[in-house]
Structure 1
Amino acid sequence: MSDQTTNQQQSAAAMNEPLLSVRDLRVAFGTKKEPNEVIHGINFDVFPGETVAIVGESGSGKSTTMHAVINLLPGTGRVTDGSVQWNGRELVGIGRRDMETIRGREIGLVPQDPMSNLNPVWSVGFQVEEAIRANGLAKTKKEAKARAIEVLEQAGLQDAERRMRQYPHQFSGGMKQRALIGIGLSASPQLLIADEPTSALDVTVQRVVLDHLAKLTSELGTAVVFITHDLGLAAERAEKLIVMYKGNIVESGPSKEILQRPQHPYTKRLVAAAPSLASRRIGAEATMPAAPTSTFDVAALAEAEGHGSKPGEPVIEVENLRKVYKLRKGNFGSEDFVAVDGATFTIRKGETLALVGESGSGKSTIAKMVLQLEEPSGGSVRIAGKETAGMSSSELFELRSKLQPVFQDPYGSLDPLRNIGNTIMEPLNIHNVGDRESRKQRVLELLDQVSLPRELATRYPNELSGGQRQRVAVARGLALKPEILVLDEAVSALDVLVQAQILDLLAELQRDLGLTYLFITHDLAVVRLIADRVCVMQQGKIVEQATTEEVFENPQQEYTKNLLAAIPGASIELGIVEAGDHVPHTPVAGSGSAPFAGGGQAGAQA
């Protein structure tokens, strides 16, 4: 028998053996005396070159499962039972140094949070080069820089050589995500764990990144495990789908088959909640549940709400808005970078305007200028007819009571030393609304509204999943019942079930209170559900502006057509929930009043 034949047989045998084999894995948090088991004996395999997607709602155990595989469980988390086999080698109980030789080189990780995983005091290029050197991929500084430029370009970052000199705060959320993807791919690992790798990316860059991952899979035999809430991405990119619910695998198999013909009631509920291009605006024809009766002192909010505008009147008027940043160059020089160039639009009372476009196109920069967090380089912003330039501190304070943000980053926008109850209560304290008891009651109502258990009021941000943190950010934005809400990727980190709840909530509040929304997103299926009009942005300029129907049915610009064509899974028809199906749901905690003692300090944590 020839050597070539032997090698082919060995290669075929290796392809039939799983790269990663997980058996009866159990994970718990807390002390050994009082463990809280969160993963309940799960089993799955990942084969060489295979793409697997793990889906499920926030807190279902998706990220915890894969972090347990590579021994990166946070805090008191630990594997209590089971086996994790990597290339036939047991990883449970492995030494720290042995695991460090596997992580990065053999198993790559793209973490969920692009904001807190980049060091703010180092340039992005330095951090990518550091990872390359740590994995032994470059002997000289010149080689490390060349490889860093290469992996960032592969991850879809344009003008990578110039951008490498910038710092994380100068990158948009999507650009930071691309930098992390570049780091994860730098060693060409056998397995890449991608934890929500495209949640911060616009659809066109998403397609670039996913195409690159698919190329790696086919050329290098790299296996990919996606942890995602995007069912379109799972259907289009993954061969196998694993559905998790409360720490258990409830359904697994070929992805398209499961999503087109879901069997488990929970999977059916996930599929039913997923937005698609066939969706229509959540509006008057939809039957909405009645808003809960509020025991909060509405009279005390009368001043803070400031609902002075009549329906249909312009509330936000942006004219020829321009923002120029100074980028550092060598020899202490700098160069101009135009982030927003001549943006003009108007939002009327009770209307939702969506700003869409690629990451780095200037969407979030416009939001910051509307919120008075960035000073325009040119042009004007008028809120309810008042010019914001040159406002006094008292006028700005009054403006902030009716203009509230929900930021893109649920990690960086929540104070880690303040518990959730006090975080949501903070705007009420600052604007001196109601007494302490009425504020507590308002916080509990807000937790109910965003489908969070009331018990979370005494917990801290590091104890919550990414989706739960995003819901806290939405609750805080709604605390003062503002007239205008600026939502910067407010549902991008949410699973489809919570996303549907939040979008329904926003539509209901808009209908009942006449709220006005500036909605910034890269998810065009969500735009279809929530927006009345759309502004499409490209490289700092608004290139198309029309009603949502016109943009989706008859896009004028080639750029807009490309955005629509790049939506993952747009052509895949998902299954539907049949009448009479019993669909489980995660219960919301009941009426018990949660304490808010301790002044929000981490030292008070139980």
Structure 2
Amino acid sequence: MSEQQPILSVRDLKVAFGTKKKQNEVLHGVGFDVYPGETVAIVGESGSGKSTTMHAVINLLPGTGKVTGGSVQWNGRELVGIGRKEMESIRGREIGLVPQDPMSNLNPVWSVGFQVEEAIRANGLASGKKAVHARAVEVLEQAGLQNAEQRMKQYPHQFSGGMKQRALIGIGLAANPELLIADEPTSALDVTVQRVVLNHLETLTKELGTAVVFITHDLGLAAERAEKLIVMYKGNIVESGPSREILQNPQHPYTRRLVSAAPSLASRRIGADASLPAAPTSTFDVAALAESTERKIGEPLIEVEGLRKVYKLRKGNFGSEDFVAVDNATFTINRGETLALVGESGSGKSTIAKMVLQLEDATAGTIKIEGRDTSKLNGRELFNLRRTLQPVFQDPYGSLDPLYNIGNTIMEPLKIHNVGDAASRKARMYELLDQVSLPREVATRYPNELSGGQRQRVAVARGLALKPDILVLDEAVSALDVLVQAQILDLLAELQRDLGLTYLFITHDLAVVRLIADRVCVMQQGKIVEQATTDEVFENPQQEYTRNLLAAIPGASIELGVEPAANEDYVPHLEAAPEHSAEANGAMGNASRNSTGPAF
């Protein structure tokens, strides 16, 4: 590959936000190369500069963001400082983008099909109504969307998070670009659809010579799909080189910490052999969650029986047809227990959560909480129930009010339920920010000033504000990088032990399930097809569908090389940014290992 010329060559790239008088530099001289057909993964925690780096490449920095130094060469052409029209001719046609948030990147007033067709027309990929429509269907099918012809008529709110993500991937790939920037492209996808989409991307890379830059917090995905790995921390590159080599023998303390905290990789070793002691790795060691102290499991708290939900879908000529989202679901959650609902996108997991939370009415069946049928509660009883039953929603972008600052967002449940006075609410808010590892200064900031991972932490903090008995977590850690994910899972496990909390945990990440859940219900097309303890499901799955889900966990077969001694005395200080190192941030087109930066 060294004989080839890179299609993208970034040198000493610096980016700052703010005005000329007060600038905050967030990238401190980043450099790397991407070659034709190469797959590169950029990993690091939320706020490390992963997305900012690639958005700077295509001049899509938000707000006051500006490139303040360095060079970006695209096929030998300098992109820093070029005109808007020139950049627009490159974006889409030559460099495709799959944005991070599937919930807010589709226009709610246009059908999904119209938006895909618009991208095809804008990039000059087809002309004429029929040709454009045919290409749009093809694009959605390639991205793994079933019944694409029918789905094109639907609107974004009628799609699950995973389906929206697939539509965005389809739009990003529509022009067969030379480089695809995929910003967390599979964070909303279940593992089986993730595999379909990533296999498609891999085929493109091989057949068309398309290079892919993954921005991801999933180290399993990075290890399995990318040839080269770039590890970022606080706007610097601290390590880079062949992905498997880095993950099997991480040199930098920060990389070691990332590897030790990754559930997609750790799940393989947790519970695999109880006789082997877990290696000490870091302050937030996911393996330690499996060794947590015994909890008391009490009487049945949530009893769901014969639950069914049917939606009416509109058809032409003012007609409608029935769509069964949940069919005859039955399960029980005991006090102090965690039940995980897993399955593909659109299998009915979130619909069950909404019915448990009384945000949707069941078509048939019963939900009992502490023996009381929730469908028969009056307004006051339902209000009181909500104090003990709190949600953490899937979408960290849509579930926070953009007009409320973070402090008021977290205190809102306390105000609504008239808990304490202003001073005690403020104290509780700061306590919650500490619990979810957010700095207290965040209290005066607004959601649009936070990253996706930070917003999700705010949502978890708000869910915990009232100290509820039951927490319904709908993909609550899917948007988080592995370090924060480990902290949140550790926090949830600790709160469960201390307060006896009960969790209904909805996720498509089976690796996380292994860490947190006592029992698992596997859902397929609205039905619970398998129900057992976590160990039974992972070690002896009964259904072919469950076996396929387990086989699709990215990176499950990759051996890691974090030695116990490597992190024994390592206590991370996330507030301290590493010093700028020219060596760390130099060109990385070659495949040699590059581990630099301070030893924290």
Give the equivalent residue in structure 1 for 2:127: 139
Counterparts in 2 of 1:583 and 1:186: CA distance versus 1, 3 Å: farther
Tell me the distance in 1 between the aligned counterparts of 2:496 and 2:527: 28
Aligned residue for 1:79?
A: 67
Offset of residue 186 of structure 1: 0.7
Matched pairs, number: 556
Match of 2:455, SS state, is helix
Which letter does structure 2 place at the counterpart of 1:530?
Answer: I
- Aligned-residue Cα RMSD (Å) equals 1.6
What pairs up with 1:208-287 in 2 under 5 angstroms? 208-275=196-263, 276-280=267-271, 285-286=291-292
Deviation sequence 1:60-93 (CA, Å, 0-9, x none): 0000000000000000000000000001111101
Residue in structure 2 matching 1:497, options 454, 459, 483 = 483
What does 1:21-32 correspond to in 2, within 5 Å?
Answer: 21-32=9-20
Q: Distance in 2 between matches of 1:243 and 1:88?
A: 25
Residue 83 of structure 2 aligns with which residue? 95
**Higher RCO (Cα < 8 Å, 6 or more apart):** 2
Shift, 1:526, TM fit: 0.4
TM-aligned CA deviation for residue 542 of structure 1: 0.4
Find the counterpart in structure 1 of residue 446 from structure 2.
Answer: 460
1:406 partnered with 2:392: yes
Tell me which residue corresponds to 1:291: none
Contact 1:268 1:583 in 2 (8 A): no
TM-score of the aligned structures, taking structure 2 as reference length: 0.91
Q: Partners in 1 of 2:195 and 2:291 — Cα distance?
A: 34
Aligned partner letter, 1:325: Y
Q: Please, what TM-score do these two structures have when normalized by structure 1?
A: 0.90
Alignment-derived partner of residue 198 in structure 1: 186
Q: Distance in 1 between matches of 2:116 and 2:59?
A: 22
Deviation at 1:333, TM superposition (A): 2.1
Question: Aligned partners of 2:289, 2:40: CA distance in 1, in Å?
Answer: 36
Q: The residue matched to 1:579 in structure 2 has which SS?
A: helix
The Cα shift of 1:122 comes to 1.1
Please list every run of 5 or more consecutive structure 2 residues that lacks an aligned counterpart in the other structure.
Answer: 272-286, 577-600
For residues 110 and 562 of structure 1, what CA distance do their matches in structure 2 show? Answer: 26
- 1:127 to partner: Cα distance: 1.0
**Shift, 1:588, TM fit:** 6.3
CA distance, structure 1, for counterparts of residue 486 and residue 186 of structure 2? 19
CA deviation after TM superposition for structure 1 residue 128, in Å: 1.0
Query: How big is the shift at 1:158?
Result: 1.1
* Whole-Å separation in 2 of the counterparts to 1:193 and 1:387: 49
Shift of 1:312: 1.7
Q: Check the 8 A contact 1:133/1:144 in 2, yes or no.
A: yes
Distance (whole Å) between structure 2 residues aligned to residue 419 and residue 81 of structure 1? 33
1:368 partner SS:
helix
Query: CA separation in 1, counterparts of 2:121 and 2:291?
Result: 58
Report if the CA contact (8 A) 1:453-1:588 is conserved.
no
Deviations 1:413-456 (A, max 9, x none): 00111111111111001001011011111011101100111111
Contact 1:60–1:246 (Cα < 8 Å) also in 2: yes
Moved more, 93-102 or 320-329: 320-329
Secondary structure of the structure 2 residue equivalent to 1:108? strand
Q: Compared with structure 1, are the counterparts of its residues 147 and 583 closer, same or farther at alpha carbon in structure 2 (3 Å cutoff)?
A: farther
Identity %: 83
Kindly provide the amino acid, as one letter, of the partner of residue 585 in structure 1: P
- Match for residue 535 of structure 1 among 521, 536, 558: 521
Residues 584 and 266 of structure 1: CA distance in aligned 2, closer, same or farther (over 3 Å): farther
AA in 2 matched with 1:286: S
The answer to whether 1:107 aligns with 2:84 is no
1:113-128 mapped onto 2 (5 Å cutoff): 113-128=101-116
Partners of 1:118 and 1:379 in 2: CA distance: 35
SS in 2 for 1:338: strand
- The 8 Å contact of residues 452 and 588 in structure 1, kept in 2 or not, is answered as no
- The residue that corresponds to 1:376 in the other structure is 362
Q: Which amino acid aligns with 2:292?
A: A
Asked whether the equivalents of residues 324 and 377 of structure 1 are also in contact (C-alpha less than 8 Å), the reply is: yes
Q: Displacement of 1:328 after TM fit?
A: 2.0
SS in structure 2 at match of 1:16 = coil
SS across alignment from 1:84: strand
Q: Give matches, 1:192-591, under 5 Å.
A: 192-275=180-263, 276-280=267-271, 285-286=291-292, 312-579=298-565, 581=567, 583=570, 585-587=572-574
Q: Which runs of 5+ in 1 are unaligned?
A: 1-11, 289-309, 590-606
Q: Aligned AA for 1:247?
A: G
* Alignment equivalent of 1:161, drawn from 149, 155, 158: 149
| Range that drifts further, 389-398 or 84-93 | 389-398
Measured after TM superposition, the shift of residue 553 of structure 1 is 0.4
TM-superposed deviation, 1:586: 4.5
SS state of the match for residue 380, structure 1? strand
SS at 1:67 equivalent: helix
Kept in 2: contact 1:282–1:529 (CA 8 A):
no
User: Which amino acid in 1 is paired with 2:238?
Assistant: V
Does structure 2 conserve the Cα–Cα contact (< 8 Å) formed by 1:27 and 1:68? Answer: yes
Instruction: Check 1:260–1:137 CA distance in 2 against 1; reply closer, same or farther (3 A cut).
Output: same
- SS of 2:256's partner is helix
Once the two structures are superposed, residues 203-257 of structure 1 have per-residue CA deviations (whole angstroms, 9 ceiling, x without a partner) of: 0000000000000000000000000000000000000000000000000000000
Query: d(CA) in 2 for partners of 1:115 and 1:586?
Result: 33
Q: One-letter code of the match for 2:34?
A: V
More deviation in 194-203 or 384-393?
384-393
Q: Please report how far the alpha carbon of residue 543 of structure 1 lies from its aligned counterpart in structure 2 after TM superposition.
A: 0.3
CA distance in 2, matches of 1:266, 1:529: 22
- d(CA) in 1 for partners of 2:74 and 2:41? 18
Separation (CA, whole Å) in 2 of partners of 1:240 and 1:478: 39
Q: What is the CA-CA distance between 1:311 and the residue it aligns to?
A: 5.0
1:188 to 2:176 alignment: yes
The aligned counterpart of 1:599 is: none
Q: Which amino acid aligns with 1:230?
A: D
Shift of 1:587: 3.9
